[in-house]
Chains A and B, each alone.
Chain A
Amino acid sequence: MSASMTAPLVRFDGVTYRYPSVATPSLCAVDLEMGPGLTVVVGGSGGGKSTLLRLLDGLVPQFHGGRISGSAVVAGLDPFRTPVPLMAQRVGLVFQDVETQSVYGTVEREVAFGLENAGLPRAEMHDRVDEALGELAIEHLRGRRLTTLSGGERQRVQLAAVLAMRPRVVALDEPTSQLDLDGAAAVLTACLRLARDGRAVVVAEHRLETLLPAADRLLLVEDGRVSSTTAEALTSHVEARPRHSFAASEVVWELGDVAAGPAGCSAPVLDGISLAGAAGEVVALVGPNGSGKTTLLRTLAGLIPPLAGTVRRPAGRTAYLPQNPGALLHLPTVRAEVELTLRRAGPPRSSSAAAADVAAMLAAFGLTALADRYPRDLSSGERQRAALAATLAGSPALVLLDEPTRGMDHAARHALAAAVRSLTESGSAVVVATHDTDLALELADRTIRLAGGRAVEVAASVHVEVAAADRAAGRAVAAAQGAPR
């Protein structure tokens, strides 16, 4: 741990919290002190990480309601009683989904929103906006419309908006879950710079490869209990999947010289793409944000017609998991979601066989205990698992997964890997678009990198090196920022 962690900026004493209408506490008897430096919060989905972050600026309990006991001091204020808008001047919180937290349409004004709320004079606001944009090296984005930015750029804009308030505590909820390697490294660099400036920076994250080497402190949140942990306890070893080669006769899906782009686009995002995949094969699509991974999946799914070229899919069902699991879930229970897909997907079967299939699918994704919960009440990782179970049920011939590990903990990732293996053994072809290099390494028979509208196959040896480089990036950024090793 760093020697710089001295006076506590955050102190919780015996904090227990229950959300309204929930019997079990989401946080239980939390005793915690945090000083300046980078604190990484880890733990399973639904364990209480996001709730812990929301305690810092008083959103829990003031915005969410519920019952709380114990006491807390954050940046010198009581977050349970100080109005959240006042807490916001000392505690900055960047949420998981950057698209739903934007108020204004352009970068400069979005960064200034909090300053306007604080009632600062115009000249000071301009100085602070300049400073925050400079601190995150995004001055060049100043006049841009938010909708034109990549995920990494938007995440940094939201961080700049928080920094402009000059908070003493900065909390980020899964800031890199949707980012490519460069975007994640940029956010990590920004976090480390803040930590070195004497702020307490708290990051809840599942994607640890870049963060662990840089962390001053690691907190494990599981079942509402918070404890310290070590990097060694969290490091997992990823086994690369033995590569299979497939004969041309086994090809079941094919893109022939395809040009494609989102509906209404003037220029294609993909141009001259020729790819094919076999039954039982897993193809991973990697590449930076905006490189066309989602467009390729949607074209292959038949959701958008190609601007040129041909698309061939296997007979049978094509399963498609979109990036936002909320797009799927609309029934009262997780079980009902899986039942609906099975009912539509396969031939009629007896009620006992159908029930067994549903139970097996729920168990495969660790959802048995959540089977009768309303899907939208679940944490983001749990919701993602529910969407996966609802998507993959019923032996689809072609499986298309768009960022399937978003918000997922390690256990859920392993469950996903096992489910995909099971599908390929029964002959399904799988295409997965992901920033998660470890997942690609663990699952893929082939890895295709998309960039500049083109697709290039990544050799297996290079793929292993990329995954290793992903993990090393965190160490490199940490070293550049003078972080402990």
Chain B
Amino acid sequence: MSIAPRVWLLWSLAAVTVALSTDNPVYRALVALVALNVLLTWLPPGRRLRPLVAMLAFAAGMAALVNVLAGHTGAHVIARLPAGWPLIGGAFTVESIAFGGALGLGLVAALLAVAPLSLVLEPHDVVDAMPAPLERTGIAVATSLNLVSGFGRTLTAVRDAQRMRGWKPRGLRSWYEVLVPVVLTAIEDSVLLAEAMEARGFGAGRRTTYAAGRWTRWDLAVVIAALGAAAVFVGLRLAGAPIDWYPYPALYLPPINPILVAACLALALPGLAAPDRGRAAVEAGA
């Protein structure tokens, strides 16, 4: 089974909408878990999750840390820094840690929700996913994805070449000899790609699309479930229903609404499908 590129785009948009429309860590955690399951189900062979996991840990850690250091309100004080210290001076509270964790969780959920666009889809799928007015944006994204993988290869090649000339990593300044050629090569590659794209008619006028883009019933079900989930969260927020969690001034357990839990679980639908591994095997040349 496969899922149409535009369905992936809509699913990602819906999942991000859910993750960012509430501060409640329960719903955010649910979205993160559901998105991770979808990602693990659809991740093509040979693609690695480790860089994404590292990025998630960094982003979530930083978000939480900034809130803990800069937010000094809350009833349960753990420690204090002198109030005169700019920004970080004041009390560190259990509440600010909890809210920082919820912020980090929101980032993790949102990043996992959009991860399939780079880890599951091919660059041409990203172009196919975009509506016609945004097709050029899609191509910019697709070419960027190609350049990102090239960036990693260039970094390895440059680091190795400089090592063989006697370079040793000694502090930040020493990385100049590696980072300068990497950045210059990335810029050169971008210019060469732009030249190649123009030489192949990019920008001639109205484009057409090679892919048929037909949706299956499964595609339709995924879109209805995902948009439905997003609509429930946005609708309840607009109606003024309590979907957030704000642990100040004193910490309390986040409320749980069964309808919102069901909406989060509706996002899990793509994870119930079995991907067509035959296609992946052909692409990989197996």
Give A residues with C-beta under 8 Å from B. 57, 59, 63, 83-86, 88-89, 92-93, 95, 97, 99-106, 108-109, 112-122, 125-126, 129, 143-145, 147-149, 161-162, 165, 263-264, 298, 301, 303, 317-320, 322, 324, 326-330, 340-341, 344-345, 376, 390-391
Q: Across the interface, which residues of A come within 8 angstroms of B236, CB to CB?
A: none
A97 to B181, CA, bound (A): 18
Q: Which of B198-221 contact A (CB under 8 A)?
A: 198-212
B180 adjacent to chain A (CB < 8 Å): yes
Min CB gap B184→A, angstroms: 6
Per the bound structure, the CA–CA distance linking A472 and B196 in Å amounts to: 33
User: A320-B160, A327-B161, A330-B184 in contact; A125/B208 too (CB < 8 A)?
Assistant: yes
Q: In the complex, which residue of chain B has the Cβ closest to the Cβ of A129?
A: B210
- Whether the pair A103, B193 counts as a contact (CB closer than 8 A) is yes
Across the interface, name the chain B residue whose C-beta is closest to A84.
B198
Q: How far is the CB of A159 from chain B (nearest CB, A)?
A: 12
Closest to A262 in B: B156
5 A–B contact pairs at CB < 8 A?
A103-B197, A115-B208, A121-B208, A125-B208, A144-B282
Residue ID in chain B nearest A145 by CB atoms: B283
A328 touching B165, Cβ below 8 Å: yes
Report the nearest B residue to A344, measured CB to CB: B166
B101-109, B138-146, B225-233: which one contacts chain A? B138-146
The answer to whether A119 and B209 touch (CB under 8 A), given A104-B142, A330-B180, is no
Q: Residue B162 at the A interface, CB < 8 A?
A: yes
- In angstroms, Cα B165 to Cα A112, docked, is 43
Greatest chain B CB density within 10 A among A129, A147, A301 is at A147
Known: A103-B193, A105-B146. A326 touches B181 (CB 8 A): yes
Give complex CA distance A26, B162 in Å.
32
Chain A residues with Cβ under 8 A from B282's Cβ?
143-144
Instruction: Decide: A100 and B122 in contact? CB cutoff 8 A.
Output: no
Q: How far is the CB of B83 from chain A (nearest CB, A)?
A: 48
B160–A322 contact, CB under 8 A?
Answer: yes
Contacting pair A93 B209 (CB below 8 A): no
Which partner residue on chain B sits nearest A98 by CB separation?
A: B196
Q: Is B284 an interface residue (CB 8 A)?
A: yes
| A99 and B204 in contact, given A318-B164, A326-B188, A327-B185 (Cβ under 8 angstroms) | no
Q: Which residue of B lies closest to A97 (CB)?
A: B192
Contact of B283 among A101, A148, A344 (CB under 8 A): A148
User: Is B123's CB under 8 angstroms from A100's CB?
Assistant: no
**Interface of chain B, main secondary structure:** helix
Asked whether A125 lies within 8 Å of B283 as measured between CB atoms, the reply is no
With beta carbons under 8 angstroms apart, the residue of A99, A117, A129 that contacts B150 is A99
Specify which chain B residues have a CB less than 8 angstroms from the CB of A340 in the assembled complex.
165
A sample of 10 more A-B contacts (CB under 8 A), given A326-B185, A327-B161, A341-B166, is A59-B199, A85-B204, A100-B189, A103-B142, A119-B205, A122-B208, A326-B181, A326-B188, A327-B160, A390-B165
Given contacts A109-B210, A145-B285, contact A100 B196 (CB under 8 A): yes
| Alpha-carbon distance between A84 and B203 when the two chains are bound, in angstroms | 9
Residues of chain B contacted by A165 (CB below 8 angstroms): 200-201
In the assembled complex, the CB of B211 is this many whole angstroms from the nearest CB of chain A, namely 8
Docked Cα-Cα span, A118 to B210, in Å, equals: 11
Residues of A within 8 A of B237 (CB): none
Q: What is the CA–CA distance of A148 and B46 in the complex, to the nearest angstrom? A: 11
Give the Cβ gap from B156 to chain A, nearest Cβ, in Å: 8
Q: Please determine whether B204 and A118 come into contact, CB atoms closer than 8 angstroms.
A: yes
Which residue of the partner chain, among B165, B195, B284, contacts A344 with CB atoms under 8 Å?
B165
Set of chain B residues within 8 Å of A97, measured between Cβ atoms = 192
B138 to chain A, nearest CB (A): 11
Residue on B nearest A121 in the bound complex, by CB: B208
A57 cross-chain contacts in B, Cβ below 8 A: 199
Any chain A CB within 8 A of the CB of B80?
A: no
Known: A89-B201, A106-B122, A341-B165. A101 touches B210 (CB 8 A): no
- In the bound complex, CA of A119 to CA of B189 (Å): 27
Report B67 CB to chain A, min CB distance, Å: 36
Set of chain A residues within 8 Å of B206, measured between Cβ atoms: 119
- In the assembled complex, the Cα of A119 lies from the Cα of B209 at a distance in Å of 8
A327 close to B154 (CB less than 8 A): yes
